[in-house]
Amino acid sequence: MKYLDISANLIGNDQFSKLFSAVSVSNISAFHCRKGRIGGYKIDHLLFCGSLKLEVLDLAHNNLSDSNGKNLLKYVRQNVTIEKLYLERNIHIRSEMVREIENECQMNIRIKKKILIDLPKKSDNSQEYDVTKLCLRD
């Protein structure tokens, strides 16, 4: 499965925690969890996904805070596989923070395009790149 959409299920922090942990060890490239009840200091530690496959994370229409936004910004800077992070309608995240996260996602796209040229394929017959070296920035 490459795409998981659990939007509009009023997912809270506990359920999100379990799902996001599962996504981090999966092949899912797009995870949509909009229109939920995710947010607050209880999930700050969760907003780091170890997945090197996840490219799209949709957390729009939740209850994310500015603190959550700061952690998401760190996450996007450390994991260059993330190309798009949807955060609209999270009224507790300042618009400046959302723009900064969007800029980092755009940077990730540029970095990936540049790096993928030189990255080896997983195998001779594979169309997938060995992206284990993509987490480059602090």
pLDDT digits (tens, 9 = 90+) for 67-97: 999 989 988 888 878 899 999 999 899 999 9
pLDDT digits (tens, 9 = 90+) for 26-71: 999 999 999 999 998 878 777 776 777 899 999 999 999 999 999 8
Question: Which of 138, 15, 43 lies closest to 23 in space, CA to CA?
Answer: 15
Q: Is 104 exposed, middle or buried (0-12, 13-18, 19+ CB in 10 A)?
A: buried
Break the chain into its structural domains and give their ranges: 3-133
Whole-prediction pTM value? Answer: 0.81
Helix axes 66-78, 95-116, angle to 10 degrees: 10
Classify domain 3-133 by CATH number: 3.80.10.10
Structure tokens at 78: 């450390």
pLDDT digits (tens, 9 = 90+) for 100-137: 999 999 998 988 777 666 666 666 666 566 556 555 44
d(C-alpha 68, C-alpha 117), whole Å: 33
pLDDT at residue 21 in the model: 87
- Confidence category of residue 138, pLDDT binned at 50, 70, 90: very low
d(C-alpha 35, C-alpha 20), whole Å: 16
d(C-alpha 52, C-alpha 102), whole Å: 19
pLDDT at residue 127 in the model: 58
Structure tokens at 42: 């209880």
pLDDT at residue 137 in the model: 47
